[in-house]
Structure formats: structure tokens, C-alpha cells
């Protein structure tokens, strides 16, 4: 029996003795497949070059072995083999876009899969049987050799070390790592991970790539059981430990997380000092009692991560040098954030430990900017910034500059564009006509792309426009994938800012009038009944001829277009101006003109103030203890969380002065939740049930109550915020009570709350 090739780096099948080579025409055709930047791992661990033409040769022989070599069959075989070979090469390229190494068995799997998908079942069956025969033959030869020599044939793999030297693969260390990674996790099998990893190793593999192969092998098993996500994360820790310890000049030969636990304190102190010397962290962090803090680290909490969580921290959050070397480990990361937030406390060491315990236990999580920047030389810790864009060129480009500066330090943005005059409106200074809002929004979109969030994630901005603005119809189409691309913003979010009067017109099937804001300037700052009265006055002026730049549309038609665009593009979002302002605690001192890109905050903006939101989230799932919500633990978590959020305001780095003015004056904080669905799972409550709604109601009531209580305690300790007097808070009107104000403003016919 002849084989497809003498080399082991291609698939092999039996061919008839009369046809040991494919025709020359076939050999010529197989030269068109090109080559990929791969190397093939043979079964003995050696590497050979990847040559796609050998796949074509082997497949041709497989077909000829089944169908014979007649002229009629030959042409079909040539065409089929060419197409199937391309499919195999493309599949390998998709799986490994940057090249690398591929095991011979993986190539043979792809060949088998391509044959089956093409409906060549007889050829595929012959191919599968031959692979099995060869596997049995190899096993028999190994047993024979073992019997003759008294030894078992093993794959010999040498590892290339960081200094260029080589050493035998340390199988004992691999077994130890994987065993620890699987410890305590049901339905995980260390042997499965080791077997798959060893199959993908080759002689001369880099030491770091061995650890990476362990991670990848466990990651592929996550679909079989979610516990493998924890296994993959624990194996990833090995890479992190070795990278960090080597960078700091410490002995990196730490075999397990348990051994690392004994050295975490030594590492932590070296990390803080080195990062401060490199001007990556604030020098003031070195003034903490590092010895005391290091003793409070809980290394075993590193084992609680899932793979995606830890990989995300590694990619985006951990402190690193200019070459991208990460030398911040998870518990050092949490302590660094805690130290940054406790810097101005009377007892910073004790507070840092308190904050660290809350963060590292996953009971509470600060917002991304806080996690990015706490403890650094530019501690921009706030989440989002809201601006109002004025109707003049200096103001417009000043707002775009502010966007760039705020985005640079990881802030999300919400822009109120309603004051900017509409397309076709008169410009007195130039005696010309305006191009409207849309061209400027294109610049905003491109600025968000150009100035991302600290080089760590995409820039994020949302532009708001009120529904009476004359450019609203073009605004609705900004995210469409058709039309003039110069009037599209594919990377920016958009949102409608809708007054109640518009919705009344929709319900009553009436007309709606669009204006340019330079002709109706006071509508921007009015809401509720005051807005309705003034809006109707302006409509009367259009009928008398005093206002000529306007457009009348059916309110229901505009609403229908809003919903159509929302379904088609996901934008603009629907937000309501009057309810945000009527219920705003700060209505005594300003107007809410927009929200942010996540619509979780409603704060006043003006030419003098850029609103700032300071956010964090309680992990609700972590507060489910013994199948119920642990109120005592929740109370403690919320109190500490609110203190951390209040500290953000004082510690924060402000890249624009209007943001500092607003944050110091109003001191807004936002405490949200995460892990709601996980909490329901632990309580065995279906997500769509009435019980889930009741749990949401009761849990948020508890969080709200303790957050207000914590704020009151801080006020006693630190004093009330400067704009407190005259606010709804000062009048004893809590957020839940403000619903009465909305009912009074709207009337019973337009408010239905259960």
C-alpha cells in the first residue's frame, strides 16, 4: 500500500499501486494556493514548513483511490480538489490570522470536514478509516519499542528560555499548575487540558508560549462547562505573575498561586516603588504604610476571576511600561485604586484597607475611569461629562476641544446641541446662511474616533437635540447606512430630547412646528407648562408672519420616523425633557438639557458649567447570602461606596475648569447595581417573573435608602454641598416624592404609574 506522501506534515490516504502520483496538470494547478505563515507540529514535536500544495496532492490521491483514474473522473477530481484545498487553507487562516503553528491532526481534521461538507462521503469515509489505521499502527509500534527497549517513547520537547537558552519542558510544573487551576471546580479535568496542550507544543517553543498554550487549551473547553472559565483565568495568572515579577527583578520561578501568596507582599512594595519612580503612579502612594497594606492583601481572591474578566483587566486596566509590559497584579490593582481614593482621608491607611476589601471582594466596583486612573499622576476618576454647545463658532469649537480633552482622560460625553441654529438660518456677522447642526456633528464624530479614551478604549459621545429643532429630521438619519456619508455619523450616539407637549400632540394627532433656536432662544431653558405656553406663542407668530423660518409636520409622522430610525439603527434614543427637569433635585439652580451616552444621569449644564457624573456599582449577586438579600452587608457596602464616590470629587483631575466648578458646587454621585441577573439566579427567581420585579423593587429601595443615609452622614461630617440650599433635598422632597410634582405638572391624564 502506497501513501500520499513520505512526510508526516500532510494528510495521507491509500492509493492504488497503478496511480502513485497525480497527473502533471494537477500538480501545476496546486501551485495556485499560495502559502501561509504557518509551521506544522508533527507528532514527535518537531516543526516542518506548511505547504498547501501537499494537501492538494494528498486529497487528489484520496479521490483517485476511491474513484479510479479515468479521464472523465480526472477533470472533476482536479476541480473539486482545488476548491476543497482553498477551503482548508482559508479555514486555517481564519483560525490563525497571524500565522503560527498548527498541529498535523488539526489539518487532517479540516480536510475531513471539507470532504464531508462537499458531500464527498465515500472519500471522507476512506480518509477517516485510513487515519484510524495509521493511529493503530503508531500505537503498535510504540508498544513494540517499549517491549524491546523497556522504555516508553515520549515526545521530546525543549523550551526556549527568555535569555535564549534551552531547557527540557517542565512537565511536573505544568501538572502542578493545572491541578491547582482545577482545584475545587466541578466537571473540570486537568488531564484533558494537559493532553491538548502537549499536542500543540513543539521542540524549541518559547517558555511563555507554553503558559499561553495552557490558557488556550482550557479556554476552548469553556463551552463544555463554565467552570473552565475560572480554570483559564487561573492559568492566565501564571503568565501575569511571571511577567510582573521578571519586570521588577524578582525571582519569577513561582509555580503556583499558593506560592505567590507568600511573596505578594514583597511584590506589592516593589511594584509601588517602581511604578512611582517611573512616574506611572503618584509619589504620594509611597508614603502609605506599605508594609501594613501588603499584609492586608488577600492573594487567593485572584482565583475568583473568570477568564474574560482577568483578560480584560490585563488588556486595558493594569499599569504597564511603554513597551506594554504589565507589572500590576490583580490584588495590587485593587489596592492601588483604594489608595488613590483614600489619599485625602484623615487615616488613609485604614480607609485604603476598607476600600480595598470592598473592591477586591467584588462587592462593589468603581467605574472604569476610576479603575484606570486612581493613584496616577492624572487621576481623572469621573465617568461622564455633559456640555451645552453655544451658538457661535468659538463656542462650538471650544466644546469640541473640551470633548477631546475630556475623552483623552477616559471620560464619556453627552453634548446638548439644541442652541445651535438650524440649516438655512441667517448669520448676521457674515450676512449668510447657516449649514445647521449636522456638519458640526460630523466633526464631533471624527473627534471621538481620533481622541479615544486614553488609548485604552474607544471615544464615546452622545449628541442630544430637542424635538422642535428645525434640523431634527436630518438628525434622526445620522446613523443610517445609506445617503450622503458626509451627513452621517457612524461612530457617535444620538438621542432625542422630547418635551411633553410633543407627546400630547402625538396622542391628539395634531401638528408640530419646528423652529430654529436663534429665533426662539428661550425654549431651550423652559420646560413643563412654561414651555407649552411659550411654544404656543411662537406658533401664533408663525401664523401672523412674524416668524418665517419654520416647518409644520404631523406630530404622529415625526414620532413614527423616530421609532423607525430607532428600530433601524438603534438611534436616536428616546429621552424626556420635562420629567427630567420637574423631578430634578437641582431645579432651583439650573436646567437639565441632556443626559450622557448611557442616559443614567440628568444634571444641569450651562455655558459656565460642565456637568460631571461620578459612578460606581454595587454587585447585587455578592449580597445574596443564604438564599436572601443580606441587608446588613448591603448597608455596610453602600456606606463605604458612597464615601468612595464622594472622595472622587475632591481627588479628581479636571481637564476643563467648567467641570471642576460644577462638580464642586453640586457634588453629584451615582450608585448603580451590577449582577442583578446573577442575583436572581442565586435566588432561583425567573428573570421575567413578577417575583423578579418585586425583588428589583425591594433591593433598589434598600440601596436607595442606605445611599441617602450615607449621604446624610457625610454631610454631618463634611458639611452640605454648596448648592444644597433651595434644592428638593433641602425641602425634604426625596426622589420618590418628586413623582407628585410630575403629576401636578402633567395632569392625571398623562401619568400612569403603578
All three cell numbers of 313: 483587566
* Grid cell of 679 as nine digits: 442575583
Residue 342: CB atoms within 10 A of its CB come to 26
Which residue(s) pair with 41 in the sheet?
A: 47, 103
Of 21, 132, 279, 600, catalytic: 600
Distance CA 554, CA 559 (A): 9
Residue 422 is given by DSSP the state P
Q: How far is CA 347 from CA 288, 352, 605, 650, in A?
A: 10, 9, 35, 16
The Cα–Cα gap between 651 and 643 comes to: 12
Strand, coil or helix: 426: strand
Paired with 466 in beta bridges are 497
How remote is the C-alpha of 59 from its chain's centroid? Answer: 43
Question: Which residues does 480 contact at the CB level (< 8 Å), separation at least 6?
Answer: 488, 565, 568, 569
To the query of whether residue 198 is one of the catalytic residues in this protein, the response is no
- Catalytic one of 227, 596, 604, 614: 596
Find the angle CA(16)-CA(17)-CA(22) to the nearest 5 degrees: 70
Report phi then psi at 151, rounded to 5. -135, 160
Q: Which residues contact 498 (CB under 8 A, 6 or more apart)?
A: 466, 467, 574, 575, 576, 577
- Distances in Å between the Cα of 677 and the Cα atoms of 50, 226, 229, 308, 652 are 47, 16, 19, 18, 32
Q: How far apart are CA 601 and CA 383, in angstroms?
A: 11
N-terminal to C-terminal alpha carbon distance within the chain: 81
Which ranges of 457-576 does DSSP label H, i.e. alpha helix?
Answer: 472-476, 500-507, 528-544, 555-569
Quick check: is 598 catalytic?
yes
- All cell numbers assigned to 175: 501538572
Q: Among residues 198, 462, 598, 613, which one is catalytic?
A: 598
Determine whether 473 is an active site residue: no
- Please tell me the number of Cα atoms within 13 Å of 664 on its side-chain side: 10
Helix, coil or strand: residue 624: strand
**Residues known to be catalytic:** 596, 598, 600
Amino acid at each position: 500500500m502506497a501513501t500520499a506522501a513520505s512526510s508526516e506534515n500532510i494528510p495521507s490516504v491509500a492509493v492504488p499501486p497503478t496511480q502513485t502520483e497525480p497527473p502533471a496538470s494537477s500538480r501545476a494547478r496546486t501551485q495556485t494556493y499560495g502559502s501561509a505563515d504557518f509551521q506544522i507540529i508533527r507528532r514527535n514535536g518537531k516543526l516542518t514548513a506548511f505547504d498547501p500544495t501537499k494537501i492538494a496532492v494528498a486529497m487528489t490521491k484520496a479521490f483517485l483511490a476511491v474513484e479510479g483514474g479515468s479521464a472523465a473522473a480526472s477533470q472533476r477530481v482536479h476541480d473539486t480538489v482545488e476548491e476543497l484545498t482553498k477551503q482548508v487553507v482559508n479555514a486555517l487562516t481564519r483560525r490563525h490570522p497571524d500565522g503560527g503553528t498548527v498541529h498535523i491532526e488539526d489539518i487532517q481534521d479540516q480536510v475531513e470536514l471539507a470532504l464531508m461538507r462537499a458531500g464527498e462521503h465515500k472519500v471522507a469515509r476512506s480518509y477517516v478509516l485510513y487515519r484510524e489505521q495509521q493511529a493503530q499502527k503508531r500505537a503498535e509500534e510504540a508498544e513494540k519499542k517499549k517491549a524491546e527497549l523497556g522504555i516508553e517513547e515520549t515526545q521530546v520537547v525543549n523550551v526556549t528560555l527568555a535569555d535564549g537558552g534551552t531547557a527540557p519542558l517542565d512537565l511536573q510544573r505544568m501538572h502542578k499548575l493545572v491541578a491547582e487551576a482545577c482545584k475545587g471546580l466541578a466537571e473540570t479535568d486537568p488531564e484533558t487540558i494537559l493532553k491538548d496542550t502537549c499536542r500543540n507544543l513543539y521542540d524549541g517553543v518559547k517558555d511563555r508560549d507554553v503558559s499561553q498554550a495552557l490558557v488556550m487549551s482550557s479556554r476552548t473547553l469553556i463551552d463544555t462547562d463554565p467552570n473552565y472559565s475560572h480554570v483559564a483565568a487561573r492559568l492566565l495568572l501564571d503568565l501575569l505573575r511571571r511577567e510582573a515579577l521578571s519586570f521588577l527583578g524578582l525571582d519569577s520561578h513561582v509555580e503556583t498561586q499558593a506560592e505567590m501568596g507568600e511573596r505578594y507582599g514583597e511584590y506589592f512594595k516593589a511594584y509601588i516603588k517602581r511604578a512611582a519612580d517611573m512616574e506611572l503612579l503618584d509619589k504620594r502612594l509611597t508614603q502609605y504604610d506599605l508594609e501594613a497594606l501588603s499584609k492586608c492583601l488577600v492573594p487567593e481572591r485572584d482565583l475568583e476571576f473568570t477568564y474574560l474578566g482577568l483578560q480584560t483587566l490585563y488588556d486595558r486596566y493594569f499599569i504597564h511600561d511603554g513597551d506594554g509590559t504589565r507589572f500590576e497584579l490583580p490584588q495590587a490593582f485593587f489596592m492601588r485604586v483604594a489608595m488613590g481614593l483614600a489619599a485625602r482621608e484623615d487615616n488613609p491607611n485604614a480607609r485604603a484597607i476598607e476600600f480595598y476589601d470592598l473592591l477586591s471582594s467584588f462587592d462593589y466596583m468603581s467605574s472604569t475611569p476610576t479603575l484606570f486612573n486612581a493613584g496616577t499622576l492624572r487621576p481623572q476618576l469621573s465617568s461622564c461629562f455633559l456640555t451645552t454647545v453655544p451658538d457661535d463658532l468659538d463656542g462650538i469649537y471650544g466644546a469640541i476641544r473640551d470633548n477631546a480633552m475630556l475623552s483623552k482622560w477616559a471620560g464619556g460625553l453627552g453634548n446638548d446641541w439644541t442652541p445651535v441654529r438650524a440649516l438655512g438660518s441667517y448669520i448676521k456677522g457674515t450676512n449668510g446662511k447657516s449649514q445647521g447642526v449636522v456638519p458640526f456633528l460630523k466633526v464631533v464624530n471624527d473627534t471621538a474616533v481620533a481622541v479615544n479614551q486614553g488609548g485604552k478604549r474607544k471615544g464615546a459621545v452622545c449628541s442630544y437635540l430637542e424635538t422642535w429643532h428645525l434640523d431634527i429630521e436630518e438628525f434622526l438619519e445620522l446613523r443610517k447606512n445609506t445617503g450622503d456619508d458626509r451627513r452621517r455619523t457612524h461612530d457617535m450616539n444620538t438621542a432625542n430630547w422630547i418635551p411633553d407637549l410633543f407627546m400630547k400632540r402625538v396622542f391628539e394627532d395634531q401638528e408640530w412646528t419646528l423652529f430654529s433656536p436663534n429665533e426662539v432662544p428661550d425654549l431651550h431653558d423652559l420646560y413643563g407648562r412654561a414651555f407649552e405656553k411659550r411654544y404656543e406663542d411662537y406658533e401664533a407668530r408663525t401664523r401672523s408672519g412674524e416668524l418665517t423660518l419654520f416647518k409644520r409636520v404631523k406630530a404622529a409622522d415625526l414620532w413614527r420616523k423616530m421609532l423607525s430610525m430607532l428600530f433601524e439603527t438603534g438611534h436616536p434614543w428616546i429621552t424626556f425633557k420635562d420629567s427630567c427637569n420637574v423631578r430634578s433635585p437641582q431645579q432651583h439652580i439650573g436646567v437639565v438639557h441632556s443626559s450622557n451616552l448611557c442616559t443614567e444621569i440628568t444634571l444641569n449644564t450651562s455655558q459656565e458649567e460642565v456637568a460631571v457624573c461620578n459612578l460606581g456599582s454595587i454587585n447585587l449577586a455578592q449580597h445574596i447570602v443564604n438564599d436572601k438579600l443580606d441587608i446588613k452587608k448591603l448597608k455596610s457596602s453602600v456606606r463605604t461606596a458612597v464615601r468612595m464616590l464622594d472622595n472622587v470629587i475632591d481627588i479628581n483631575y479636571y481637564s476643563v475648569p467648567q467641570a471642576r466648578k460644577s462638580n464642586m458646587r453640586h457634588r453629584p454621585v451615582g450608585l448603580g447595581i451590577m449582577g442583578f441577573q446573577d442575583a436572581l439566579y442565586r435566588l432561583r427567581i425567573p428573570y421575567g417573573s413578577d417575583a423578579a420585579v418585586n425583588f428589583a423593587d425591594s433591593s433598589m429601595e434598600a440601596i436607595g435608602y442606605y445611599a441617602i443615609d450615607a449621604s446624610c452622614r457625610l454631610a454631618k461630617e463634611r458639611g452640605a454641598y454648596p448648592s444644597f440650599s433651595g434644592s428638593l433635598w433641602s425641602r425634604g422632597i426625596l426622589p420618590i416624592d418628586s413623582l407628585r410634582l410630575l403629576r401636578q405638572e402633567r395632569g392625571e391624564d398623562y401619568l400612569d404609574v403603578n
